[in-house]
Amino acid sequence: MHTKKDFKGLDFDQVSLTKAPLMSMITGSIRMLVLGVALMALPLQASEYNWKAGTAKAVITPSKPLWMAGYGGRTAPAEGKLHDLYIRVLAVEDAQGHRGIVLSSDTLGIPQSIYDEVSKQLKTQYGLDQSQFMLNASHTHCGPVLKGALLDIYPVSDQQMADINEYSDWLVTEIVSTIGKAIADLEPATLSRGVGSTDIGVNRRTNREPDVPSLREQNLLLGPVDHTVPVLAVKRADGSLKAVVFIYACHNTTLSFQQWCGDYAGFAQYALEEKHPGVTALFTMGCGADQNPLPRRTVELCQEYGNRLANAVEAVLKNSLEPVKSSLATRHAMVPLAMNALPAVDRLEKMAAEPVSYTQRWATRVLKGLQSGTIQLTEYPYPVQAWKLGDDQLWVTLGGEVVVDYSLRIKAEFGEQTWVTAYSNDVMAYIPSRRVLLEGGYEGQSSMMVYGLPTDRWAEDVEERVFAGLKKVVNSLKK
């Protein structure tokens, strides 16, 4: 890339010229030609590669001992913190002024209630439509329960529910405010991309946790995985690193204790920000719903996995970056996903009479809803999103806990370099592929009860509905 500075050293007044008229005319013509080419090149390069970017982050660690989201076996709220939870925001603006927002949060998932409210406020305050922002969750299981999610999984008292609602309303305000700060921070920048790899994730459906160390040594781990680490690097005009976004497909579930913590993804973000002072590091989760960091359960392992992921990002930053032209196109759609038949009343009555558990609470609530007519949901509005950065970098987001089959199919259909972020905009349930749905198990069946949906599984066409919606938004980028 050429800039005006590149041509300052070329002083034509000091070039030795012959007095011959013909030679003077030729030399003058060459001088004008070189200067003309240089000047024409400068705005073209600026137009093609100069973005604007802004960052902001905020601590979202609850001040009260809220219930922690993710593990059904918990019997009490949080008891302090290992490290703070954050939301981190990157705002980008292309040469035409079109903006995109990437938010990373140390939460289990942004529920529909928060996504809807944030969407309204971003539209009103900043003119952003839903295609222009990604509200991503790291899926840490050491973050707080949020409003409208996990309705039955914990024995939450009325006061605890009030605290959850109060925190959730505050979080909405904090998300919108932090996005506003990132927009206010917009400054000239460049974007570049690359892809690394790390093998933290293990398919948990096909490998027993106790066997993983031995299977790994023998290279005998089974099942589909996605070990890629896509990286988006954002640099200031002076070339210093301003932000880095990275994606990885593995459950953020190394730890299961009673302290607030961003888990391995939190440690990875901390490590990158320590390595690069002043940088904002944003993790987004890939299709990791059937992938686990194994073995696990210790802080030492959690920090090790975080450092390994940070090192994979660092290797890309040092060796494998390609500039991204200053062009951004964004699309979004809500896809109606059909649910399996609502449960029979006699089944719900039997479950509601069982000893107290999350399934008993779920059955009791759904039974009352069916009897009163307040539960009639047969389809769920599922968010899909597609961005195109530059000429050819496709980045898609999917809601929910998406299994790895989707990532592999998306890359097969839309191109191997496609980036895939799941757990985005609304985490309402697991999203199994047809294969996983028919195989059964937790990811295919029963997990929907954990999220409070009124049935225990999606209809068998769930995968095809997701891809039909995704194809429409991706194809609309070409118009």
**Span 215-231, pLDDT tens digits:** 999 999 999 999 999 99
Secondary structure (H, E, C), 13-76: HHCCCCCCHHHHHHHHHHHHHHHHHHHHHHHHHHHHHCEEEEEEEEECCCCCCCCEECCCCCCC
> Is residue 18 scored above 50 in pLDDT?
no
Q: Residue 360: which of 152, 69, 157, 156 has the closest Cα? A: 152
> Is residue 124 scored above 70 in pLDDT?
yes
Q: According to the model, what pLDDT value does residue 47 have?
A: 52
Q: According to the model, what pLDDT value does residue 352 have?
A: 92
> Is residue 48 scored above 50 in pLDDT?
yes
Give the residue-averaged pLDDT of 27-36: 38
> Is residue 42 scored above 50 in pLDDT?
no
**In contact, 473 and 384? CB cutoff 8 Å:** yes
Q: Residue 291: which of 403, 179, 195, 399 has the closest Cα? A: 403
Q: Residue 141: which of 69, 86, 38, 74 has the closest Cα? A: 69
Give the residue-averaged pLDDT of 138-145: 97
Q: Residue 326: which of 46, 136, 91, 36 has the closest Cα? A: 46
Give the residue-averaged pLDDT of 36-62: 69
**In contact, 260 and 84? CB cutoff 8 Å:** yes
Q: E strands of 325-478, at which residues?
A: 328-338, 379-389, 393-398, 401-402, 419-421, 430-431
Q: E strands of 198-351, at which residues?
A: 201-203, 228-236, 241-248, 280-285, 291-293, 322-324, 328-338
The CA distance from 447 to 118, in Å, is 26
> Is residue 2 scored above 60 in pLDDT?
no
Q: According to the model, what pLDDT value does residue 274 have?
A: 98
The CA distance from 418 to 113, in Å, is 29
**In contact, 255 and 63? CB cutoff 8 Å:** no
Give the residue-averaged pLDDT of 393-404: 98
> Is residue 19 scored above 50 in pLDDT?
no
**Span 58-70, pLDDT tens digits:** 999 999 999 999 8
**Span 271-323, pLDDT tens digits:** 999 999 999 999 999 999 999 999 999 999 999 999 999 999 999 999 879 99
What mean pLDDT is reported for the chain?
Answer: 89
> Is residue 29 scored above 90 in pLDDT?
no
